[in-house]
Structure 1
Amino acid sequence: MPFPAARLHLSRPRLSRPRLSRPRPARTARGRALTIAAAAIALGLIVIASLAIGARDLTPVEVWHGLTHADPIAAAVVWDQRVPRTAVGLLAGAGLAVAGVLMQTLTRNPLADPRIFGVAAGASLGVVIGLSVLGLTGIGQYVWLGIAGALAAGLVGYAVSTVAARNTGGGTVTYALCGAALDASLSAMVYAVLATDVHSFDQYRFWAVGSLAGRDAEVAWGMAPFLLGGIALALLAARSLDGLQLGHEAAAGLGHRVGLTRAAAAITVALLTGAAVAAAGPIGFIGLAIPHLARWAVGATHRAQIALSLMLGPCMLLTADVIGRVIVPGEAPAGIICACLGAPLLIALVRRARTVTA
């Protein structure tokens, strides 16, 4: 008598999946809109807190009276000190977050941030030249040199990386390596200049920690055209970026002009990062953590990612700035608080992604 057929329990081999920022299942357009609207409401509340909290705390009613000039004292505090500072935080946070979305798509690297092409180091070199060589002292004076240095470094970094990738066939890895090499070279030049000028080093150190303190209307107006223009370019390129994240061949097969899209994205990253870093300093983690959070919340569609990042980036930077005003007797720089907030956020996203894929 034959033995009964043994039941074999076969299991399919599990395929490896990305472990960072895995989007939640099937987002509808209505769900994405509600998520972005909730982020906009949160940003509005944080803006009110930024206008109200400081050396002299104001109630929301006093903030309104200051904005409408009904109270001269409140108006002086709000318009002269807190509105420019909040505006710089809004613009810089939005610029860094959107630049992070573009950079992670451009390099297809979930750990990329906007500073890969040496943009932040270029801005630092421009600021140092303004401080040490030209003798500039005000932030509103050397912010222009920071923007120019960032744009020049970003364009050179992208050009060198593109040529190297074309000659070696290294793809996105070559972009990251060339950008890191340029960043290291420019950083060495920065410290070589500062080593001979102690006074400029003291001023540079205040800028390099990343802060919104002391930023006036001149800084806000100076950075606004670059950041608003960069955000507009990012939104226009959103559909092409959707194709680019599928890979070079797939994007070309869908009719996208891959070279033009990459060049436009690189220029946009240089605009956004250069203006934000020149105005607020090299603040980290916003361009790294916010794109992951946006991708997890609204999916892989770039238009939705950019829209949500426009809310979440300023939320993070202004929250860090408000916490820095009240956490110590003096004032903690926003760059330090952002690092303290961004690191746990990124770790939580990684752990959640691993739990989902487990």
Structure 2
Amino acid sequence: MKNKIAGLSLLLLFVAIGFVASMALGIVHIDFSTVVRSFIAFDGSREQLIIRTVRLPRALVAVAVGCCLALAGGIMQALSRNPLAGPEILGINYGAALAAVVASFLFGYTTLGLFAWSSFVGAGLAGAAVFLLGSLGRERLSSMKLVLAGATINLLLASLTQGILILNQQTLDTMRFWLAGSLTGRDVGLFMQVVPYMLIGLFLTLVMSKSINLLSLGDEAAQGLGQRIGWIKACLIGLIMLLAGSAVAIAGPIGFIGLAVPHIARFLAGADYRWILPYSAVLGALLLLLADIGARFVLPGQEIPVGVVTAFFGAPFLIYLAQRKGKTL
């Protein structure tokens, strides 16, 4: 217990260091004293304006999005009992992307607010469609049916999204950066609109951590311990929609955080989801902060979307997991 608390405290310290580094590092280098003065003695200088209006919102979004995606991934892996599962398996990313593309195509203009709310609605509808499809038939909703329904909806939504983008070049040009997953240009106002949903999802996830623990043992074992399997699964799918949907709404579809982070948390905290989930939340925030800092230095003089960085490091991790899983079959 003490070791886990100490480990979590150390990770929180790393998040704090990464948060400060995110405000100081970039194309315009800003020293630590200027970062501190921008909050205690703001003078309106160029560097302090960059910190207050650009880098602070960006760091806040990175922490919140990383936390939500990692928690959604942890829930998804417990729900499906599949180590390769992530929020993408419920069609959350492509549901959000399709809704944002359709909104941009229909209304003819693009704003972060339009992307955020349309994608949030799209993520919710996609998750609901997967749940309904997986519930069809005489048998109750199982992990296998959930995965198959998610894969089916995911392919459908991806095809529709690509089809609309091909038909409309203007929509493709305006949405290309958002679809890659980016933290650039997010302001505090937009963040404050979405953050209540994130906090509700975080709180409910921690409250349900005991039920998630039991469900990870398997449907039969959880039912034998008196758990209402159908109700718990419905609640967990709702939490995944809330967490991943709000994250995608504000930052676009960022991949691999939800897949990789729960495995790292499981390695550090053991098999108890009452510890895996808090560790995942903190690790997700830390890794997305680091990925966003790295995105500023990959190409000289310009930044790349953070989703490209997470995909670059996440792909080898996915290959490793797939090989490891194959050896255990």
Q: Give the TM-score of the pair, scaled to structure 2.
A: 0.93
Structure 2 partner of 1:222: 193
The runs of at least 4 aligned residues of structure 1 exceeding 4 Å deviation read 344-355
For the pair shown, the structure with the greater C-alpha radius of gyration is 1
Shift of the 348–153 alpha-carbon distance from structure 1 to 2, 3 Å rule, reads closer
In structure 1, C-alpha distance between the alignment counterparts of 2:176 and 2:321, rounded to whole Å: 32
Shift of 1:170: 8.3
Q: Tell me the number of residue pairs that the alignment of Structure 1 and Structure 2 aligns.
A: 326
The answer to whether residue 171 in structure 2 is matched with residue 210 in structure 1 is no
User: Which of the two has greater helix per residue?
Assistant: 2
CA contact (8 A) 2:135 2:141 kept: no
Q: 1:193 aligns with which of 164, 168, 173?
A: 164
Structure 1 partner of 2:50: 77
Q: Which moved more, 1:287-296 or 1:54-63?
A: 54-63
In structure 2, C-alpha distance between the alignment counterparts of 1:340 and 1:194, rounded to whole Å: 24
CA contact (8 A) 2:84 2:321 kept: no
After superposition, what is the alpha-carbon deviation per residue over 1:326-349, rounded to whole angstroms, capped at 9, x for unaligned?
Answer: 221211211111122234455677
Task: For residue 284 of structure 1, give the secondary structure of its aligned residue in structure 2.
Answer: coil
Structure 2 partner of 1:14: none
CA contact (8 A) 2:180 2:308 kept: yes
Structure 2 partner of 1:268: 239
Shift of 1:123: 0.2
Shift of 1:168: 5.2
One-letter amino acid of the counterpart of residue 60, structure 2? A
Equivalent runs, 1:7-22 vs 2, <5 Å: none
Structure 2 partner of 1:36: 8
Structure 2 partner of 1:324: 295
Q: 2:278 aligns with which of 283, 296, 307?
A: 307
The answer to whether residue 256 in structure 2 is matched with residue 285 in structure 1 is yes
CA contact (8 A) 1:43 1:315 kept: yes
After superposition, what is the alpha-carbon deviation per residue over 1:179-219, rounded to whole angstroms, capped at 9, x for unaligned?
Answer: 11101111222122222211111112111111111111233
Structure 2 partner of 1:161: 134
Task: For residue 136 of structure 2, give the secondary structure of its aligned residue in structure 1.
Answer: helix
CA contact (8 A) 2:141 2:230 kept: no
Task: For residue 245 of structure 2, give the secondary structure of its aligned residue in structure 1.
Answer: helix
Structure 2 partner of 1:235: 206
Structure 1 partner of 2:72: 99
Q: 1:341 aligns with which of 305, 313, 316?
A: 313
Taking only the aligned residue pairs, the percentage that are identical comes to 35
Q: Which moved more, 1:232-241 or 1:252-261?
A: 252-261
In structure 2, C-alpha distance between the alignment counterparts of 1:52 and 1:170, rounded to whole Å: 48
Structure 1: which 5+ residue stretches go unaligned? 1-28
In structure 2, C-alpha distance between the alignment counterparts of 1:353 and 1:146, rounded to whole Å: 33
Shift of 1:354: 11
Structure 2 partner of 1:10: none
In structure 2, C-alpha distance between the alignment counterparts of 1:42 and 1:343, rounded to whole Å: 24
Shift of 1:225: 1.5
Q: Which moved more, 1:341-350 or 1:331-340?
A: 341-350
CA contact (8 A) 1:69 1:75 kept: no
CA contact (8 A) 2:87 2:258 kept: yes
Structure 2 partner of 1:118: 91
Q: 1:66 aligns with which of 32, 38, 41?
A: 38
Structure 2 partner of 1:250: 221
CA contact (8 A) 1:161 1:174 kept: yes
The answer to whether residue 110 in structure 2 is matched with residue 132 in structure 1 is no
CA contact (8 A) 1:292 1:349 kept: no
In structure 2, C-alpha distance between the alignment counterparts of 1:223 and 1:244, rounded to whole Å: 29
CA contact (8 A) 2:130 2:153 kept: yes
The answer to whether residue 38 in structure 2 is matched with residue 53 in structure 1 is no
Q: Give the TM-score of the pair, scaled to structure 1.
A: 0.86
RMSD: 2.1
In structure 2, C-alpha distance between the alignment counterparts of 1:205 and 1:187, rounded to whole Å: 14
